[in-house]
Amino acid sequence: MTGHEFRALALSFAGTTHAPHFDRTAFKLQRTFATLAADGASANVLLTPEEQEHYAALQPGAFCRVLNKWGDQGWTTVTLAAVNPDLLHTALQSAWRAAQRPRSARSRKR
């Protein structure tokens, strides 16, 4: 998958907008659910910690926890050239759904 393909996929979810976010592009509804690196090589996707572990186990060369406090919250780096597009679609859809729920509901779901 390329950065261009990721951008198209993220924007295909209803109500998604995008805006600059530091050196990245953020994709959001009420909250940001994914960001794309400026070079288009990777993206960060907000998953639950359980989902993060699941996807990293399914495709460890493509999904890995962000190595800081954001990773503890479920932010997961996806290496786009290595990811299975169908698996990424499923993960991104989960992140998009979570971005629709109030923050307190998302916390309880974990």
Question: In the prediction, which pLDDT does 104 show?
Answer: 56
> Using CA of residue 74, residue 77, residue 82, residue 88, what is the dihedral sign?
positive
Number of structural domains the chain divides into: 1
> What is the residue range of 45's domain?
3-109
R_g over Cα of the chain: 13
* pLDDT band at 103; cut points 50, 70, 90: low
Q: What is the CATH number of the domain that holds 100?
A: 3.90.1150.30
Q: Is 46 exposed, middle or buried (0-12, 13-18, 19+ CB in 10 A)?
A: buried
Beta bridge partners of 44: 35, 77
- Express each pLDDT in 35-89 by its tens digit: 999 999 999 999 999 999 999 999 999 999 999 999 999 999 999 999 999 999 9
